[in-house]
Chains A and B, each alone.
Chain A
């Protein structure tokens, strides 16, 4: 049984490594001509050059957009998640569907319409426009994670604090937030990653003016310089891998409609 478990783990590892290995090799290969199976020379040329090819400003743009999306999503989703999680009103099932369904739609279904609409509002090809467009895929996940958090929250703690004379603000900071902050944090980190990984909406609503890491990355990949591409991929993956334990749980939980 034990040996079989290790076999399964090993197979899973190989299946994952086989696909990610070329990426890792290319990021540190200095020279790798076909048909060689292993790079002829290793070095950090790709990583050094990608810093000069706009990766720094793209990383800053990505971080700015993703942070704004994460904070906006959390603030907008908080009251909605609370209402849905506590299920204190009629029609909350229909409302849940309406708030979570957009996460299931591919971004391309909305991207072109958003860009056209934003042209009239002066939001097309701007960072603000990109941030707003990312709310379409991000907000549903925030609502779903916060709702799941509140479904395990007992609102009577708040009532007790109120009855003991605490102000509404004090109830929020001394009772509610300390109890639910782990869920709130997951929502923030998760929406950060949804925005961080977004390509279609950024390209179309940003009109090629707002250059985030995925937009830069796609340009490099279709340009064909695999050293640069792999190096940019590594920079792109840093937060993804750092936040892996948090987001994986949120993703699998919310995919079932926030019952996680």
Chain B
């Protein structure tokens, strides 16, 4: 099969080329547009007050969404795992798939109907009872949407990571007299950690570049980076387009750095 070895990778060429053209093309275009008037667009973005407010908001929403989703997802996985083989456990595992298949836009709309000031929650509490939970400064609605959608996703990842070997190791630890807490800390958690890390990273990346969810549920200003870049891009003043590209590149760079940091940390272990 020597010939097979030499030509084995040939099949990846079309897909690699399509992604290179589309993705590489988009990045090149964003870079060249951002430098259209020299460094003016970069200067204007970095001098604007909105940059730091928007960055702080975006980091906060992405960090909170991913860490809450990871913690809740781990808890969900542990609970479902205790009843894994029962009928109820099977039903619960099927139900976990529902939120993760829902489009973000639909979940954002449901959140609006649930948490807005004339929403179902407010009606349930008797009217005029809840503070602003959508289009609010803290972004409760955005974080709620991501956590509801992504915690089950993390749970499914953790559940599949904890199958097989881990069960036996836990039994060995118990038989050797380890307390439930020790079993969790020294056996279960280390086994779940890689899946937890991947899950959290995916949620972070997605929430960081979020668009439709904060566009529907976020406050007008400051807005998350994705919404801000779109606002700049569609500004009637066409000279703001290079600034939109700068913000889009910031999203790309931040997500890339976060992914790299995670990867490096993962390898250092």
Contact = CB atoms under 8 A, between A and B. Distances in A.
B122 interface: yes
A112 B106 contact: no
A132 interface: yes
B22 A92 contact: no
Interface string A105-137: 111111111111100000000000000110110
Interface in B1-53: 1, 4-16, 18-19, 22-23, 25-30, 33
The listed residue with most A CB atoms (<10 A of its CB), out of B114, B120, B198, is B120
Q: How large is the interface on A (under 10, 10 to 19, 20 to 34, 35 or more residues)?
A: 35 or more
B101 A247 contact: yes
Interface string B216-245: 100000000110011001000000010011
Interface in A1-26: 1-2, 4-10, 12-13, 15-16, 18-23, 25-26
B12 A95 contact: yes
A217 interface: yes
A37 B26 CA distance: 48
Contact of A218 (B11, B202, B216): B216
A135 B87 CA distance: 39
Contact of A35 (B25, B114, B122): B122
A77 B127 CA distance: 53
Contacts of A92: 9, 12
A221 to B, nearest CB: 5
A132 B126 CA distance: 49
A240 B33 contact: no
Nearest to B15: A80
B101 A240 contact: yes
Given A1-B86, A12-B95, A113 B109 contact: no
B146 interface: no
B71 interface: no
Interface residues of B, number: 96
A29 to B, nearest CB: 11
A205 to B, nearest CB: 10
B123 interface: yes
B23 A110 contact: yes
A139 B16 CA distance: 10
Contact of B18 (A20, A22, A25, A76): A76
Contacts of A2: 86-88
Given A106-B208, A214-B105, A34 B118 contact: yes
B88 A21 contact: no
Contacts, number: 288
A248 B97 contact: yes
A91 B244 CA distance: 36
Contacts of A243: 101
Contact of B92 (A9, A76, A252): A9
Contacts of A175: none
Given A79-B12, A83-B12, A112-B229, A197 B104 contact: yes
A112 B206 CA distance: 17
Interface in A81-115: 82-84, 86, 88-92, 95, 98-99, 102, 104-115
A6 B106 contact: no
B268 interface: no
Interface in B96-133: 96-114, 118-120, 122-124, 126-128
Contacts of B124: 37
Interface of B: 1, 4-16, 18-19, 22-23, 25-30, 33, 79-80, 82-83, 86-89, 91-92, 95-114, 118-120, 122-124, 126-128, 148, 153, 156-157, 160, 195, 198-199, 201-202, 205-206, 208-212, 215-216, 225-226, 229-230, 233, 241, 244-245, 248, 251-252, 255, 259
The 7 closest A-B pairs by CB, nearest first: A106-B209, A5-B88, A88-B8, A79-B11, A5-B86, A113-B26, A89-B9
